[in-house]
Amino acid sequence: MITIALPVELWSSVILPEGILEKWLKPDGSFVEAGEAVASVRVEDALHELMAPAEGWLTIDRQANALVEPGAIVGHIGNP
């Protein structure tokens, strides 16, 4: 399994060390392609898309509207 983690680079400062996982763009259990947008996260008033790091089956670990921190694992991609 390959993890989907929040890139630390999304945070420009440590003043607001949390973000919000706004929504999943793909449902749990769906097949995704590498580089496909799978979720959106709001960090310091900016909305970012999280991309699938590989192709495979999406498993959601954190639900929409969850507070997330830099490097947090929010899902996984299983083998095709």
Q: What is the mean pLDDT of residues 40-52?
A: 93
* pLDDT greater than 80 at residue 2: yes
Residue 48 · residue 60 · CB < 8 Å = no
* pLDDT greater than 70 at residue 14: no
Residue 41 · residue 11 · CB < 8 Å = no
Rounded CA separation 21/66 (Å): 5
Rounded CA separation 30/33 (Å): 10
Which positions ≥6 away from 15 have C-beta within 8 Å? none
| pLDDT tens digits for range 15-45 | 667 899 999 999 999 999 999 999 999 998 8
Q: What is the DSSP letter of 29?
A: T
The predicted structure's pLDDT at residue 11 = 83
Domains of the chain, start order:
2-78 (2.40.50.100)
The predicted structure's pLDDT at residue 18 = 87
| pLDDT tens digits for range 54-80 | 999 999 999 999 999 999 999 999 987
